[in-house]
Amino acid sequence: MAEKLLKGGEYLITETGCEDVFTPEDFSDEQKQFAETTEQFVTNEILPHIEEIDKQNFDLVVEGMQKCGELGLLMMDVPEEYGGLELDKASSMLVAERISVSGSFSVAYSAHTGIGTLPLVYYGTHEQKEKYLEKIISGEWCSAYCLTEPGSGSDALGAQASAVLSEDGSHYILNGTKQFITNGGFAEIFTVFAKIDKEHFTAFLVEKSFSGLVIGSEEKKLGIKGSSTTQVILDNCRVPVENVLGEIGKGHKIAFNVLNVGRFKLGAAVTGAAKAALETGVKYANERVQFKRKISSFGAIKEKIADLTADLFASESLIYRLAGLLDDKIATIEKDVDDYYVQYQKGIEEYAAECGISKVFCSEVLARTVDEVLQIHGGYGYVSEYPAERYYRDERINRIFEGTNEINRLLIPGMILRKAMKGELPLQAEAMKAFESLMTPSFEDLDESIAFASEKVLLKNLKTLFLILAGTGVQKFMDKIADEQEILMAAADIAIQIFALESTVLRAEKSFSGFSERKQELVKAAVKVFAFNASETAGTAARKGAFYIEEGDTLTMILSGVRRFSKFDATGLLVAKRLLADAASEEEKYIFN
């Protein structure tokens, strides 16, 4: 457990010691065993049938879910009291990462174990858990989550589905249509959100067998074709009053808190998918010969492989750092208290911004990866006989799932600024210091005796840059800053790069001494490559934000600060990229597993 537990968003204004982060190198033997079990399951039970699954043979999906139940892969987050394993978040994320290579099946799995199960775990009564959890964690029943409607996606509280108490007071009568419901075609239990008396947003546990529940036809989708996506139509659907989930009128708590975990879990899943795609791309680059040379020997291909490898190192570092933060926070909560899950949810909500960051950053790493892997394949990447084509189609949904990346980019700085306004983070005082640094010339010398000294200076400077931009925006727009979406999104891009880069540097520093000399060189290369890319991304976002906010002399001063604080000495960058690419080509996989 970390010696000092950071608050959510606090990473922007403080330094973290490498001993306070959890990394993939910290996995226990038990966690590694879960990963191995998951890999064997996917290899033996899913991948041989992946084409049939993509043709919507849902019997294979249901059968696979039942086998997951037998292996204990559906009960990771469920209390032992109800037959679950109640494992830490790091273990849960590791399984999500390793199952992600199963394509569409992983979508069904993630929906079932995440948004399909967690509302009941967190908010269900003892009787509800006794009735349903055993069926869910065994795979006897698949589960689904019904929030989105034809007219309300990101605006979840704009839902129109209604619920009215029956005359005898025994049932709620639900009416409305839910859209894009994953597992809709074969789920037996649904968490459905509706407004009681068109006002009180509430969650309900709805069985498929309840009268008035109608499953729509399968959507014809661009990707994830082997997952079931349907409408769920509520036509005077009768739901017993004892199936209200949580408190009446408090459905928004369930919806939003469960999505925090969903975003985090998605970050792990897309990281695993990106590793698989990269492996496919590298193997193809080694097989494909042009101009009498393997294309993996060309600099243009090497650069792609190197950038993707560095991105993945950062993505993996970020995910498991966040897993450690959540596990450490949850560990501070007493288990035998009546409001355990209330405190548990508050613990997860503390890191809502970081959950959003993991979703955005990792899904965009996957997007770049599948795009470049298809490009490495050339024309063959466009042919469905090659897996690059499926990777490309399947990826696209991840930037929409669990709240679009645009919505998450707005939420990230929004949640951090709200903490500041509540006095939970001293952002205003730190922003003032950052402004002062604009007036102060920098004579900072690098202490080469410090590991990753250049990257640590860059981190410190990017934090200053975020504070300058956020402080300037708040000073100018005050409480109207929430309406300035372009500014918030620019600030989010800086905050995202800071968390990713810091996670990368801290992982490298913590694990460095345990690596072989060759792996140490590879880690240094990955950190350098990612730091350069992060400095460029954050610098571009900061320049854009400065032009959005200011003009005249103040703009000139801030732009001068942007140049200064996003500067990074990437001497040896080409050597680092070639080192990473050559190692990946030699091993034909993601080299830091």
Distance CA 171, CA 57 (A): 35
Q: What's residue 337's pLDDT?
A: 86
Q: What integer is the mean pLDDT of 220-225? A: 97
Q: What's residue 364's pLDDT?
A: 98
Q: What's residue 440's pLDDT?
A: 80
What superfamily in CATH does domain 145-245 come from?
A: Butyryl-CoA Dehydrogenase, subunit A, domain 2 (2.40.110.10)
Q: What integer is the mean pLDDT of 87-93? A: 96
Q: What's residue 336's pLDDT?
A: 84
Look at the alpha carbons of 311, 564, 505, 406 in this order and tell me if their dihedral is positive or negative. negative
Q: Please, where are the H alpha helices in 396-516? A: 405-421, 427-439, 453-477, 485-511
- 381 pLDDT above the threshold of 80: yes
| pLDDT tens string 158-214 | 899 999 999 999 999 999 999 999 999 999 999 999 999 999 999 999 999 999 999
Residue where the block lists tokens 């109207």: 480
Residue 588: pLDDT band (50, 70, 90) is: very high
Q: What's residue 479's pLDDT?
A: 87
Distance CA 120, CA 205 (A): 8
Residue 450: pLDDT band (50, 70, 90) is: confident
Domain ranges of the chain: 10-141, 145-245, 254-405, 425-587
In angstroms, the Cα distances linking 32 to 26, 27, 36, 487, 495 are 10, 6, 6, 42, 31
- 1 pLDDT above the threshold of 90: no
Residue 155: pLDDT band (50, 70, 90) is: confident
Look at the alpha carbons of 266, 272, 276, 281 in this order and tell me if their dihedral is positive or negative. positive
As annotated, the active-site residues are 402
DSSP letter for each residue of 391-423: HHHHHGGGGTTTS-HHHHHHHHHHHHHHHHHTT
Same fold across 10-141 and 145-245? no
Distance CA 397, CA 387 (A): 17
- Selection from 146, 144, 150, 148 nearest residue 132 by Cα: 144
Q: What integer is the mean pLDDT of 91-100? A: 96
- 289 pLDDT above the threshold of 90: yes
Domain at 254-405: CATH code? 1.20.140.10
What tokens does 405 get?
């990346």
Q: What's residue 2's pLDDT?
A: 63
Q: What's residue 529's pLDDT?
A: 98
Residues 6+ positions from 332 with CB-CB distance below 8 Å: 5, 347
- 294 pLDDT above the threshold of 80: yes
Looking at CATH, the fold of the domain delimited by 425-587 is given as Butyryl-CoA Dehydrogenase, subunit A; domain 3 (1.20.140)
Looking at CATH, the fold of the domain delimited by 10-141 is given as Butyryl-Coa Dehydrogenase, subunit A; domain 1 (1.10.540)
Distance CA 486, CA 245 (A): 37
Residue 449: pLDDT band (50, 70, 90) is: confident
